[in-house]
A and B are shown apart, each in its own frame.
Chain A
Amino acid sequence: MKKILPALVPGFAVGVLQIVPMLKSFACCLLIPLAGFFSVTLYQKSTGSENKIGISKGIVLGLFTGIFAAVFTSLFEIFITLITKSNDLVLTYNELIQTMDSLPFDAALKQQVIDLMGSMKTEIQTTGFSLLYSFTIIFNNFLTNTIFGMIGGAIGAQYVNSKFKRNNHVE
C-alpha cells in the first residue's frame, strides 16, 4: 500500500489531465514522466524518510504510476467516446487523410489504410465504440505510460538522491 498510494494519485491525475485537449497540447510528452517523478517525491514524503531512495524502488513506483495512468486514461477515453461519439481520431480524420494523400505511393495501398481508419471512425460516430480503436488505445496507453512512468521514476529517484549527498544509507 505504501507504494500503491503515491503512484495512484499522480496516475489518476494523468488520467484526468490527458483528456483535457488544451493541456495535452501544453504538457506534451512531459505529463507521464512528471507523474513518475512526483510518485517518488510523494513516496518520500509519505514515509517521512530522510534517506536515499533505491533506484529500483523509483522505477517500480514509476511503473505503478504508468499502469494507473494507463488504466484511468483508457477508461476515461473509452467512456467519453461512448458518450460523445467523438474523439481524437474523428476530429483529426480529415487532417490524417490529407497527410495520407500527400504521400506518393500506390493508391490501393493508401486506400486500404484509409478504409481501416474510416471504419473505426464510422463505428465511433454511430455506436460510440470501436473494438479495434479501443484495443489500440489500451495497448498504446499501457506501452507508453509504463515506459515513460519508469523513466520518470528513475529520474525522480536520482533527483531526490542528489539532495542527500552526505547520507549514504539507501532504503
Chain B
Amino acid sequence: MVLKFKLIIFVLILFWNIGLFVLPLSHIFEKAIYAFPVLNDLYGNVCHQEIPKTIHINDSPLQVCARCSGIYFSAFVFSLLSFIVSKKFYQHRFLISGVIIIVIIDVMLTTFGILDYSKISAFATGFLLGSVSFIYFYNALIELVSKKQGIN
C-alpha cells in the first residue's frame, strides 16, 4: 500500500512537472501547444509567471517562475528518492520555519531592490522549500497510510 502511494505521488508530481515544459515541449510535439491556454491559466493560479523571472529552455519560458520551478523540481527529486527510503525522511520542527525565513529574506531583498533578482538563488531557495515541504507532506502521508494499515 505504501509503494502504491509512493507511485501515485510520483506520477502526479511527474505530470505536474511535465506541464511546466509545455512551451519548450511544443518545439518537439507541436500539438502540445493546444494545452497552452489552459495550462497557462492553471499554473497562473499558483505563480505570478513573470517572464523575466522564469527559466527559459530553447528560448521558451517554463510555466512558472524560477522559485516555483525549484519547488516542483525538488518535489520530483524527493518523490524519486522516496522509493529508496524505506521509512520516513528525517524532519525537524524548525526545518520548515528556517527555510520559510530564508525564502522570505530572499524575496524581500530582491523585491526591495537590495539585491538583483537571480534565477539561481530563486531556484535554490525554492528547491530548499520544496524539499522540506515534500518531506513533511510525505511523512504525513506515510503516517496516515501506516495507521490505516494498522487498523485494517
Interface set of A (CB-CB < 8 Å, partner B) = 24-26, 28-29, 32-33, 55-56, 58-59, 88-89, 95-96, 99-100, 102-106, 109-110, 113, 116-117, 136-137, 140-141, 143-145, 148, 151, 154-155, 157-159, 162-163
| Contacting pair B33 A103 (CB below 8 A) | yes
Residues of A within 8 A of B140 (CB): 55, 58-59, 154-155, 157-158
Q: Count how many chain B residues have C-beta atoms less than 8 Å from C-beta atoms of the other chain.
A: 42
Q: How far is the CA of A62 from the CA of B68 in the complex (A)?
A: 20
Residues of B within 8 A of A162 (CB): 91-93
Contact of B46 among A26, A58, A89, A148 (CB under 8 A): A148
Q: With contacts defined as CB atoms under 8 Å apart, how many contacts are there between chain A and chain B in the complex?
A: 101
Chain A's nearest CB lies how many Å from the CB of B104? 10
Closest to A24 in B: B48
In terms of DSSP, what is the predominant structure of the interface of chain B?
helix
Chain A's nearest CB lies how many Å from the CB of B100? 8
Within 8 A of A (CB), among B118-152: 133, 136-137, 139-141, 143-144, 147
In terms of DSSP, what is the predominant structure of the interface of chain A?
helix
Residues of A within 8 A of B116 (CB): none
Q: Would you give 16 A-B contacts (Cβ < 8 Å), ordered by A?
A: A26-B111, A28-B46, A29-B68, A55-B143, A55-B144, A59-B144, A88-B44, A99-B60, A99-B61, A106-B30, A140-B42, A140-B45, A141-B45, A148-B46, A159-B96, A163-B93
